[in-house]
Amino acid sequence: MAIPQQLKNTNTAQLLSLAIFGVLILLYAPILLHWLDGWLHKNISTEHEYFSHGMIGLPFAAYLVWLGRKQWQRLPDCIHPLGAILLLVGGVFYLSGVTEWVNLSLPTILAGLCLWFKGVPGLRLQGFSLLLVFLAAPTAVPYLITPYTLPLQSFIAGTAGFILNQFGMAVTVDSVNLYVGGRIVEVAPYCAGLKMLFTTIYVSLMLLYWTDSLSSRRTTSWFLMLAVVISITANIIRNTALTFFHGTGQEGAFKWLHDSWGGDLYSACMLLLLVPLLNRINSYFSTVEESEVQAEN
Protein backbone atom coordinates (compact mmCIF):
# COMPACT_ATOMS: atom_id res chain seq x y z
CA MET A 1 0.00 0.00 0.00
CA ALA A 2 2.96 2.30 0.58
CA ILE A 3 4.01 2.35 -3.06
CA PRO A 4 0.57 3.31 -4.47
CA GLN A 5 0.28 6.02 -1.80
CA GLN A 6 3.71 7.35 -2.74
CA LEU A 7 2.75 7.37 -6.43
CA LYS A 8 -0.46 9.17 -5.59
CA ASN A 9 1.45 11.85 -3.66
CA THR A 10 3.91 12.19 -6.51
CA ASN A 11 1.15 12.59 -9.08
CA THR A 12 -0.60 15.16 -6.90
CA ALA A 13 2.61 17.17 -6.53
CA GLN A 14 3.21 17.03 -10.27
CA LEU A 15 -0.33 18.14 -11.05
CA LEU A 16 -0.01 21.01 -8.60
CA SER A 17 3.27 22.08 -10.18
CA LEU A 18 1.74 21.96 -13.65
CA ALA A 19 -1.25 23.97 -12.47
CA ILE A 20 0.97 26.67 -10.95
CA PHE A 21 3.13 26.73 -14.08
CA GLY A 22 0.01 27.10 -16.23
CA VAL A 23 -1.27 30.00 -14.14
CA LEU A 24 2.11 31.74 -14.38
CA ILE A 25 2.09 31.32 -18.16
CA LEU A 26 -1.39 32.82 -18.41
CA LEU A 27 -0.43 35.76 -16.18
CA TYR A 28 3.00 36.57 -17.55
CA ALA A 29 3.12 35.38 -21.17
CA PRO A 30 1.63 38.69 -22.42
CA ILE A 31 4.11 40.66 -20.28
CA LEU A 32 7.11 38.63 -21.43
CA LEU A 33 6.03 38.98 -25.06
CA HIS A 34 5.68 42.72 -24.52
CA TRP A 35 9.22 42.86 -23.13
CA LEU A 36 10.58 40.81 -26.02
CA ASP A 37 8.83 42.91 -28.65
CA GLY A 38 10.20 46.09 -27.10
CA TRP A 39 13.74 44.71 -26.93
CA LEU A 40 13.74 43.37 -30.48
CA HIS A 41 12.06 46.23 -32.29
CA LYS A 42 13.10 49.07 -29.97
CA ASN A 43 9.57 50.44 -30.15
CA ILE A 44 9.30 51.20 -26.46
CA SER A 45 10.91 53.57 -23.96
CA THR A 46 14.68 53.94 -23.82
CA GLU A 47 14.64 52.82 -20.17
CA HIS A 48 12.97 49.57 -21.23
CA GLU A 49 15.72 48.93 -23.78
CA TYR A 50 18.31 49.05 -21.02
CA PHE A 51 17.08 45.61 -19.94
CA SER A 52 17.40 43.93 -23.34
CA HIS A 53 19.98 41.60 -21.76
CA GLY A 54 16.91 39.70 -20.58
CA MET A 55 16.71 38.15 -24.06
CA ILE A 56 19.64 35.94 -23.12
CA GLY A 57 19.26 36.02 -19.34
CA LEU A 58 15.67 34.78 -19.05
CA PRO A 59 16.20 31.67 -21.24
CA PHE A 60 19.41 30.97 -19.32
CA ALA A 61 17.51 31.24 -16.02
CA ALA A 62 14.89 28.80 -17.30
CA TYR A 63 17.65 26.44 -18.41
CA LEU A 64 19.24 26.52 -14.94
CA VAL A 65 15.89 25.72 -13.35
CA TRP A 66 15.53 22.76 -15.70
CA LEU A 67 19.01 21.50 -14.85
CA GLY A 68 18.25 21.69 -11.14
CA ARG A 69 14.81 20.05 -11.33
CA LYS A 70 15.97 16.79 -9.74
CA GLN A 71 17.67 18.63 -6.89
CA TRP A 72 14.45 20.58 -6.41
CA GLN A 73 12.41 17.39 -6.20
CA ARG A 74 14.79 15.90 -3.65
CA LEU A 75 14.43 18.88 -1.32
CA PRO A 76 11.97 18.24 1.52
CA ASP A 77 8.73 20.21 1.45
CA CYS A 78 9.08 23.14 3.83
CA ILE A 79 6.79 26.14 4.07
CA HIS A 80 8.50 29.38 5.03
CA PRO A 81 6.14 32.16 6.21
CA LEU A 82 8.05 34.75 4.18
CA GLY A 83 6.86 32.92 1.07
CA ALA A 84 3.24 33.86 1.80
CA ILE A 85 4.26 37.48 2.33
CA LEU A 86 6.13 37.62 -0.99
CA LEU A 87 3.21 35.99 -2.81
CA LEU A 88 0.87 38.59 -1.34
CA VAL A 89 3.21 41.45 -2.23
CA GLY A 90 3.68 40.05 -5.75
CA GLY A 91 -0.08 39.78 -6.18
CA VAL A 92 -0.55 43.40 -5.07
CA PHE A 93 2.21 44.49 -7.46
CA TYR A 94 0.57 42.63 -10.35
CA LEU A 95 -2.88 44.05 -9.68
CA SER A 96 -1.60 47.60 -9.10
CA GLY A 97 -1.36 48.38 -12.82
CA VAL A 98 1.86 50.36 -12.25
CA THR A 99 4.28 49.22 -14.94
CA GLU A 100 7.39 48.89 -12.75
CA TRP A 101 5.46 47.09 -10.01
CA VAL A 102 3.86 44.69 -12.47
CA ASN A 103 7.30 43.90 -13.88
CA LEU A 104 8.76 43.32 -10.42
CA SER A 105 5.86 41.09 -9.47
CA LEU A 106 7.38 38.26 -11.53
CA PRO A 107 10.60 37.77 -9.50
CA THR A 108 8.66 38.50 -6.30
CA ILE A 109 6.08 35.76 -6.94
CA LEU A 110 8.75 33.29 -8.10
CA ALA A 111 10.76 33.87 -4.91
CA GLY A 112 7.58 33.48 -2.87
CA LEU A 113 6.82 30.15 -4.54
CA CYS A 114 10.33 28.87 -3.78
CA LEU A 115 9.95 29.74 -0.10
CA TRP A 116 6.39 28.41 0.09
CA PHE A 117 7.22 24.98 -1.31
CA LYS A 118 10.87 24.35 -0.33
CA GLY A 119 11.76 27.02 2.20
CA VAL A 120 15.17 28.65 2.34
CA PRO A 121 16.96 25.68 0.66
CA GLY A 122 14.64 26.04 -2.33
CA LEU A 123 15.28 29.78 -2.52
CA ARG A 124 19.01 29.16 -2.31
CA LEU A 125 18.84 26.54 -5.07
CA GLN A 126 17.03 28.90 -7.43
CA GLY A 127 18.79 32.03 -6.18
CA PHE A 128 20.86 32.78 -9.27
CA SER A 129 17.96 32.18 -11.65
CA LEU A 130 15.83 34.55 -9.57
CA LEU A 131 18.62 37.13 -9.67
CA LEU A 132 18.70 36.94 -13.48
CA VAL A 133 14.93 37.44 -13.63
CA PHE A 134 15.08 40.36 -11.20
CA LEU A 135 17.86 42.12 -13.11
CA ALA A 136 15.98 41.62 -16.41
CA ALA A 137 12.69 43.08 -15.17
CA PRO A 138 12.39 46.61 -16.66
CA THR A 139 12.23 49.33 -14.02
CA ALA A 140 12.83 53.08 -13.78
CA VAL A 141 16.40 52.61 -12.48
CA PRO A 142 18.05 53.95 -15.70
CA TYR A 143 15.81 57.05 -15.54
CA LEU A 144 16.84 57.62 -11.91
CA ILE A 145 20.55 57.23 -12.71
CA THR A 146 20.81 59.43 -15.80
CA PRO A 147 20.83 62.77 -13.88
CA TYR A 148 24.10 61.66 -12.26
CA THR A 149 25.92 60.68 -15.45
CA LEU A 150 27.21 64.16 -16.30
CA PRO A 151 30.81 63.43 -15.12
CA LEU A 152 30.87 60.28 -17.27
CA GLN A 153 29.43 62.16 -20.25
CA SER A 154 32.09 64.88 -19.89
CA PHE A 155 34.86 62.29 -19.59
CA ILE A 156 33.70 60.47 -22.73
CA ALA A 157 33.37 63.72 -24.69
CA GLY A 158 36.82 64.92 -23.60
CA THR A 159 38.48 61.60 -24.39
CA ALA A 160 36.78 61.31 -27.79
CA GLY A 161 37.84 64.88 -28.63
CA PHE A 162 41.42 64.15 -27.59
CA ILE A 163 41.58 61.01 -29.75
CA LEU A 164 40.21 62.78 -32.82
CA ASN A 165 42.60 65.69 -32.33
CA GLN A 166 45.49 63.22 -32.43
CA PHE A 167 44.29 62.16 -35.89
CA GLY A 168 44.38 65.73 -37.15
CA MET A 169 40.71 66.62 -36.81
CA ALA A 170 39.86 70.04 -35.42
CA VAL A 171 37.56 69.18 -32.52
CA THR A 172 36.40 71.53 -29.80
CA VAL A 173 35.01 70.08 -26.59
CA ASP A 174 32.54 72.04 -24.47
CA SER A 175 31.32 70.00 -21.51
CA VAL A 176 29.36 67.14 -23.17
CA ASN A 177 29.34 68.71 -26.66
CA LEU A 178 31.88 68.16 -29.44
CA TYR A 179 32.14 70.62 -32.32
CA VAL A 180 33.70 69.21 -35.47
CA GLY A 181 33.37 70.16 -39.13
CA GLY A 182 30.76 72.80 -38.36
CA ARG A 183 28.57 70.20 -36.68
CA ILE A 184 27.77 69.47 -33.05
CA VAL A 185 27.68 66.06 -31.43
CA GLU A 186 26.26 65.72 -27.92
CA VAL A 187 27.21 62.89 -25.58
CA ALA A 188 23.69 62.71 -24.13
CA PRO A 189 22.85 60.88 -20.89
CA TYR A 190 21.66 57.84 -22.85
CA CYS A 191 24.92 57.88 -24.83
CA ALA A 192 27.00 57.53 -21.66
CA GLY A 193 27.13 53.76 -22.06
CA LEU A 194 24.83 52.77 -19.21
CA LYS A 195 23.00 50.23 -21.36
CA MET A 196 26.26 48.62 -22.42
CA LEU A 197 27.46 48.71 -18.82
CA PHE A 198 24.27 47.03 -17.55
CA THR A 199 24.57 44.33 -20.21
CA THR A 200 28.27 43.82 -19.49
CA ILE A 201 27.72 43.28 -15.77
CA TYR A 202 24.74 40.99 -16.45
CA VAL A 203 26.64 38.82 -18.95
CA SER A 204 29.68 38.82 -16.67
CA LEU A 205 27.59 37.37 -13.84
CA MET A 206 26.31 34.67 -16.19
CA LEU A 207 29.85 33.76 -17.24
CA LEU A 208 31.06 33.68 -13.64
CA TYR A 209 28.22 31.35 -12.68
CA TRP A 210 28.64 29.12 -15.72
CA THR A 211 32.37 28.65 -15.05
CA ASP A 212 31.76 28.17 -11.32
CA SER A 213 33.91 31.22 -10.57
CA LEU A 214 31.45 33.11 -8.36
CA SER A 215 32.78 31.21 -5.35
CA SER A 216 36.14 32.95 -5.81
CA ARG A 217 35.88 36.49 -4.50
CA ARG A 218 39.23 37.40 -6.02
CA THR A 219 38.31 36.19 -9.50
CA THR A 220 34.85 37.77 -9.33
CA SER A 221 36.19 41.15 -8.18
CA TRP A 222 38.92 41.38 -10.81
CA PHE A 223 36.70 40.15 -13.63
CA LEU A 224 33.86 42.56 -12.90
CA MET A 225 36.27 45.46 -12.50
CA LEU A 226 38.03 44.73 -15.82
CA ALA A 227 34.68 44.11 -17.53
CA VAL A 228 33.52 47.58 -16.47
CA VAL A 229 36.77 49.08 -17.81
CA ILE A 230 36.28 47.29 -21.13
CA SER A 231 32.67 48.51 -21.33
CA ILE A 232 33.62 52.15 -20.71
CA THR A 233 36.54 51.93 -23.15
CA ALA A 234 34.34 50.39 -25.82
CA ASN A 235 31.79 53.16 -25.37
CA ILE A 236 34.48 55.83 -25.70
CA ILE A 237 35.61 54.25 -28.98
CA ARG A 238 31.99 54.07 -30.18
CA ASN A 239 31.34 57.75 -29.39
CA THR A 240 34.61 58.69 -31.07
CA ALA A 241 33.53 56.86 -34.23
CA LEU A 242 30.07 58.48 -34.09
CA THR A 243 31.64 61.92 -33.77
CA PHE A 244 33.93 61.21 -36.72
CA PHE A 245 31.07 59.96 -38.91
CA HIS A 246 28.80 62.88 -38.06
CA GLY A 247 31.57 65.47 -38.35
CA THR A 248 32.62 64.21 -41.79
CA GLY A 249 29.07 63.96 -43.11
CA GLN A 250 28.90 60.17 -43.21
CA GLU A 251 25.31 60.03 -42.03
CA GLY A 252 24.73 56.49 -43.26
CA ALA A 253 27.56 55.13 -41.14
CA PHE A 254 26.44 57.29 -38.22
CA LYS A 255 22.89 55.91 -38.29
CA TRP A 256 24.16 52.34 -38.78
CA LEU A 257 26.28 52.51 -35.63
CA HIS A 258 23.91 54.67 -33.61
CA ASP A 259 20.39 53.52 -34.48
CA SER A 260 20.68 50.34 -36.53
CA TRP A 261 22.09 46.86 -36.06
CA GLY A 262 25.65 48.16 -36.17
CA GLY A 263 25.41 49.16 -32.52
CA ASP A 264 24.15 45.69 -31.57
CA LEU A 265 26.98 44.07 -33.53
CA TYR A 266 29.52 46.32 -31.84
CA SER A 267 28.15 45.44 -28.38
CA ALA A 268 28.16 41.72 -29.20
CA CYS A 269 31.82 41.85 -30.26
CA MET A 270 32.68 43.66 -27.05
CA LEU A 271 30.87 41.05 -24.97
CA LEU A 272 32.77 38.25 -26.71
CA LEU A 273 35.98 39.73 -25.28
CA LEU A 274 34.73 38.80 -21.81
CA VAL A 275 35.15 35.07 -22.50
CA PRO A 276 38.94 35.06 -23.08
CA LEU A 277 39.30 37.63 -20.30
CA LEU A 278 37.64 35.33 -17.76
CA ASN A 279 39.65 32.34 -19.01
CA ARG A 280 42.84 34.35 -18.59
CA ILE A 281 41.93 35.46 -15.06
CA ASN A 282 40.97 31.92 -14.02
CA SER A 283 44.22 30.57 -15.43
CA TYR A 284 46.27 33.24 -13.67
CA PHE A 285 44.69 32.79 -10.26
CA SER A 286 44.88 28.99 -10.57
CA THR A 287 48.61 29.34 -11.10
CA VAL A 288 48.88 31.74 -8.15
CA GLU A 289 46.94 29.37 -5.87
CA GLU A 290 49.14 26.44 -6.88
CA SER A 291 52.24 28.51 -6.11
CA GLU A 292 50.83 29.48 -2.71
CA VAL A 293 50.06 25.84 -1.87
CA GLN A 294 53.56 24.75 -2.88
CA ALA A 295 55.08 27.56 -0.80
CA GLU A 296 53.10 26.45 2.27
CA ASN A 297 54.24 22.85 1.82
Residues with Cβ within 8 Å of residue 116, at least 6 apart in sequence:
79, 80, 83, 84, 87
Residues with Cβ within 8 Å of residue 109, at least 6 apart in sequence:
24, 86, 87, 90, 91, 94
**Contact status, residue 243 vs residue 159, Cβ threshold 8 Å:** no
Torsion of CA 231, 204, 273, 281, to 10 degrees: 110
Q: What is the per-residue pLDDT across 96-149, written as a single tens digit (0 to 9) for each?
A: 989 899 999 999 999 999 999 999 999 999 999 999 999 999 998 888 887 788
Q: What is the per-residue pLDDT across 27-73, written as a single tens digit (0 to 9) for each?
A: 999 999 999 998 888 777 777 888 999 999 999 999 999 999 899 98
Q: What is the mean pLDDT of the chain?
A: 87
Higher pLDDT, 184 or 89: 89
Q: Using the predicted structure, report yes or no on whether residue 1 has a pLDDT greater than 50.
A: no
**Contact status, residue 277 vs residue 227, Cβ threshold 8 Å:** yes
**Contact status, residue 40 vs residue 51, Cβ threshold 8 Å:** no
Q: Using the predicted structure, report yes or no on whether residue 7 has a pLDDT greater than 50.
A: no
pTM metric for this prediction:
0.88
Q: What is the model's pLDDT at position 138?
A: 92
Distance CA 251, CA 181 (A): 13
At what angle are helices 274-296 and 194-210 packed, to 10 degrees?
50
Amino acid type, 290: E
